[in-house]
Amino acid sequence: MRLDAAESAGRRALREVLTDHPVGAPVVLGVSGGADSLALAAVAAFVARGDGRPVRAVVVDHGLQEGSAAVAVRAAEQVRRLGLRADVVTVAVAGRPGGPEAAAREARREALLAAAGPDGVVVLAHTLDDQAETVLLGLGRGSGARSLAGMRPVDGPWRRPLLSLRRSDTERICVLHDLAWWEDPHNLDPRFRRVRVRRELLPLLDDVLGGGAAEALARTASLLRPDVDLLDQLADEVAPSDDVRTLAALPPALRSRVLRRFVLGAGVTAGELGAGHLAELDRLVTHWHGQVRVELPGGLSCSREGERLVVSPTPVAP
């Protein structure tokens, strides 16, 4: 049987994102039971056999939907049939900050990183469609270049080898391997903004532009990424500073990055720090007219005291 082109591309891409990872070090697959992650497991099973890599899958059960335990068990069984080890990990989502979607995502990330350990990497099944949705959502929020550059194939311990594949590709790979994927009801729920982008906005863009919208958005992310990487590298060469004169002398693109690193180092919550916060911080440096403080995520604020920026707990209103 002729090898499917998408599966072949997935195998090559997986090997590419693991190039810097020692062959004997752990590789953990994040598997949900959906078509994307089961296709990833099929691709990884081949690479594990051929390259001798210790690959295992982790299926995270958030317990947020009725029958989630059975879905997780079924996903693990299918992965084992491919010849890989698969474990189900149950996580607690209740009581975490943020909405249920953000809380589940954070719990899943923690479980996958714990499974990989300090020497391992986590391989995720994001596709070109996911990348296009991410870029569109960033545009809708008025995000900066970092967000519009999308997800990286290699991002610290996270690896994403399927960013060049479409969802139709992953479904075809599942069919070829006789894998029955699970359709997450949340992926059809229009209350989630990403679902509406996927089911309404992207098809409309395809119709207006004559097709290829997802590919064009993913290509935009790829084109932006080297520029973002260069600016981040240049910002890394600037020592984090609270000195207003030092900050004011930097080009705006570097100053925003140095300011971001400064407040993150002071304890500000990274995932909630947005472009609006950075714009207000920049005004403390370049257009200060006695503003009292900039309130930041994590219960902290930044104020200007003379020629210094100071991060401290936000005062509690009486």
Write the pLDDT tens digit of every residue in 166-217. 999 999 999 999 999 999 888 888 988 999 999 999 999 999 999 999 999 9
Q: 242 phi and psi, to 5 degrees?
A: -105, 5
Measured from the Cβ of residue 175, the count of other Cβ atoms closer than 10 Å reads 14
- 35 touches 63 (CB < 8 A): no
Residue type, 266: A
107 close to 64: Cβ distance less than 8 angstroms? no
Residue 108 tokens read as 């899943």
Question: In whole angstroms, what is the distance from residue 220 CA to residue 149 CA?
Answer: 7
Q: Average pLDDT, stretch 28-39? A: 98
As annotated, the residues of the chain forming the CATH 3.40.50.620 domain(s) are: 5-125+160-188
Listed ranges 59-63, 158-162, 181-185, 252-256; the one with the highest mean pLDDT: 158-162
Over residues 61-90, the mean pLDDT reads 94
Evaluate if residue 9 carries a pLDDT over 90. Answer: yes
pLDDT in tens, 286-297: 999 888 899 998
Across the chain, mean pLDDT equals: 93
Contact 237, 260 (CB under 8 A): no
Per-position DSSP letters for 122-143, written without gaps between them: EE----HHHHHHHHHHHHHHT-
pLDDT value, residue 188: 86
Q: What is the pLDDT of residue 256?
A: 93
In contact, 84 and 45? CB cutoff 8 Å: yes
- Of 54, 173, 161, 167, the C-alpha closest to 116 is 54
In the chain, alpha helices (H): 5-17, 35-51, 68-81, 100-116, 128-141, 145-148, 167-176, 193-196, 202-209, 213-236, 244-248, 252-265, 275-286
Give the domain 5-125+160-188 fold: Rossmann fold (3.40.50)
Burial of residue 204 (number of CB atoms within 10 Å: 0-12, 13-18, 19+): exposed
Question: The whole model's pTM is what?
Answer: 0.88
Residues 112-145 have pLDDT tens digits of 999 999 999 999 999 999 999 999 998 888 778 8
Looking at the chain, the domain(s) classified CATH 3.30.465.60 span: 238-313
Mean pLDDT for 220-237 is 94
Residue range 238-313, CATH number = 3.30.465.60
